[in-house]
Amino acid sequence: MDRKIKRLLLLVVSCSVTGVILGGTASWAESNLCLQKHTVTSDCLTQDPIQKTIQGMSTGFLAGAGAACGAAWQLRRED
């Protein structure tokens, strides 16, 4: 692999990992806040916190990968 492809791969992987961490953390915190409210809704009780966290992690992964691709595309256009 040449140097540019390695850098692009590193950018996509690092942004995706960051997105997974942030998305999972945000979803987990949202689930916990939902259960700590004074009036707990039935929607809050029926959703599985683990499943909600996994959904947040997958959303974060896609957002991170998309951001990395967008940044790489923008840098490529400037060169």
Reported as a pLDDT band with limits 50, 70 and 90, residue 63 is very high
CB 71: neighbour CB atoms within 10 A? 14
pTM over 0.85: no
Residue closest to 22 by CA, chosen among 70, 69, 71, 63: 63
Q: Identify the band that residue 79 occupies on the pLDDT scale cut at 50, 70 and 90.
A: low
CA 12 to each of CA 9, 17, 65: distance values in angstroms, whole numbers, following the listed order: 5, 9, 5
Whole-number Å distance between alpha carbons of 52 and 11: 27
Average pLDDT score, the chain? 88
Contact 24, 56 (CB under 8 A): yes
